[in-house]
């Protein structure tokens, strides 16, 4: 992998990640862009104890442009975009409309491929490994920023999820606080350690592998399963068999196996509702340990992938119970979801 740093016309950082070490990146962004201004503000909710980002400048962000005006495609035929080069492998750049910025964290965009009509599942294993390398590199750099407490790499795919740009891409949020979900998991892990003397992630993964009814993929270094209490209709957790706190701690064997398993999982997701159905919308989210936390060592890195589609043409909406009380009601038994994901395995 070769990494090349550049700057966009408004001063935002851009990073090229290339498969070839001899790739030269010297293209300049010549767009007449004004410096980015944000209104990001973090407010604390005293009742729930969590934080909310107020970012009114995001109302003006690009919304479903036609393919010919996509800002994530390479700059070609005299049409400038967010990527000045005429081609690329993987690109990461600072979001022009960030939810968090400056002393309040940082937001980045990760472009997986220059092919506007592709998806992550269309990548080959070498290219998927490059994305993993970019996620890892950004986790290392963002974790070192003084204001950052947690790094979150994720992909939203599909208009049903809320995606406003169709080009295959993900994002990275560098939060200035530990997210409420992670705090809750760490508290449960600490309680499990006090009660049993063991690690919660280790015990959960061991129980899923022993049961087997919800296992979807089981490699030498990773296991993918539908959790016993899945919140979403089709939800898969992908864990390294050797527990590590974050992407930086993965060993070479786990890195080598990940692309093939992950691509197979995404391709299965696109087949679960049968031929002729549109691509499955999903959220793919890396859960990493916070950069500073007394129980950081108890956390287990894992990737969660889920779809809000529960049946052909039907979505799982977060209605009264889910949105009002955070109590999920799942229409698809986890065992049935896992069975379906095994049925659609690649031949």
CATH fold label, 194-306+318-343: HIT family, subunit A (3.30.428)
Query: How confident is the model over 197-245, as pLDDT tens digits?
Result: 999 999 999 999 999 999 999 999 999 999 999 999 999 999 999 999 9
Tokens of 11: 């001063």
Q: In this model, does residue 165 exceed pLDDT 80?
A: yes
Q: What are 151-155's contacts with CB under 8 Å, separation 24+?
A: 151/175, 151/246, 151/288, 151/291, 152/179, 152/285, 152/286, 152/287, 152/288, 153/110, 153/247, 153/285, 153/286, 153/288, 154/283, 154/284, 154/285, 154/286, 155/120, 155/282, 155/283, 155/284, 155/285
Average pLDDT along the chain: 95
The pair of structure tokens assigned to 187 is 């508290």
- Given a contact cutoff of 8 angstroms between Cβ atoms, the answer to whether 272 and 342 are in contact is no
pLDDT in the model for residue 158: 95
Active-site pick, 116, 127, 169, 287: 169
Average pLDDT over residues 50-73: 87
Residue 150 clears pLDDT 80, i.e. is over it: yes
pLDDT of residue 325: 96
User: Distance (Å, rounded) from C-alpha 160 to C-alpha 312?
Assistant: 13
If pLDDT is split at 50, 70 and 90, which confidence band does 259 have?
very high
d(CA 221, CA 224): 10
Stretch 140-153: mean pLDDT: 97
- Spatial neighbors of 149 by CB under 8 A, at least 6 apart, are 175, 176, 177, 178, 290, 291, 292
Percentage of the chain beyond pLDDT 90 is 90
Taking Cα atoms as reference points, which of 134, 170, 154, 186 lies closest to residue 291? Answer: 186
Measured between alpha carbons, how far apart are the two ends of the chain, in Å? Answer: 31
CB atoms within 10 A of CB 96: 20
pTM, two decimals, is: 0.96
C-alpha separations of 283 from 181, 313, 330 in Å: 16, 18, 17
Digit-coded pLDDT (tens) for 232-247: 999 999 999 999 999 9
The gap from C-alpha 274 to its chain's centroid, in whole angstroms, comes to 25
For 272-314, the pLDDT digits (tens) are 999 989 999 999 999 999 998 999 999 999 999 999 999 999 9
57 is catalytic: no
d(CA 241, CA 239): 6
Who's near 61: CB < 8 A, 6+ residues apart?
Answer: 96, 97, 164
């Amino acid at each position: 992998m070769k990494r090349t740093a550049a700057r966009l016309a408004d001063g935002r950082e851009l990073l090229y990640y290339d498969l070839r070490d001899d790739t030269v990146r010297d293209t300049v962004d010549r767009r007449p862009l004004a410096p980015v201004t944000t209104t990001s503000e973090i407010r604390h909710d005293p009742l729930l104890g969590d934080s909310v980002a107020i970012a009114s400048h995001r109302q003006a962000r690009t919304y479903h442009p036609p393919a010919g005006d996509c800002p994530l495609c390479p700059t070609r035929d005299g049409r400038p975009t967010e990527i000045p080069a005429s081609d690329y492998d993987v690109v990461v750049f600072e979001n022009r409309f960030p939810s968090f910025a400056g002393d309040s964290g940082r937001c980045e965009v990760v472009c997986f491929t220059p092919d506007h009509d592709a998806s992550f599942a269309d990548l080959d294993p070498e290219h998927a490994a490059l994305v993993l390398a970019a996620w890892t590199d950004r986790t290392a750099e963002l974790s070192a920023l003084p204001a950052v407490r947690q790094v979150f790499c994720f992909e939203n795919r599909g208009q049903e999820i809320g995606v406003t740009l169709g080009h295959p891409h993900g994002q990275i949020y560098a939060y200035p606080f530990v997210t409420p979900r992670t705090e809750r998991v760490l508290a449960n892990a600490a309680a499990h350690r006090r009660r049993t003397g063991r690690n919660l992630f280790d015990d959960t993964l061991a129980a899923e592998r022993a049961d087997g009814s919800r296992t979807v993929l089981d490699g030498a270094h990773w296991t993918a399963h539908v959790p016993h209490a899945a919140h979403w209709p089709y939800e898969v957790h992908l864990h390294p068999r050797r527990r590590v706190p974050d992407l930086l701690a993965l060993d070479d064997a786990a890195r080598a196996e990940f692309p093939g398993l992950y691509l197979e999982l995404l391709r299965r997701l696109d087949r679960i509702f049968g031929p002729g159905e549109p691509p499955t919308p999903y959220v793919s989210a890396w859960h990493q340990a916070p950069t500073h936390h007394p129980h950081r060592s108890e956390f287990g890195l894992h990737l969660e992938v889920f779809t809000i589609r529960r049946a052909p043409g039907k979505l799982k909406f977060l209605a009264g119970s889910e949105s009002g009380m955070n109590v999920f009601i799942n229409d698809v038994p986890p065992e049935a979801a896992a069975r379906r994901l095994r049925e659609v395995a690649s031949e």
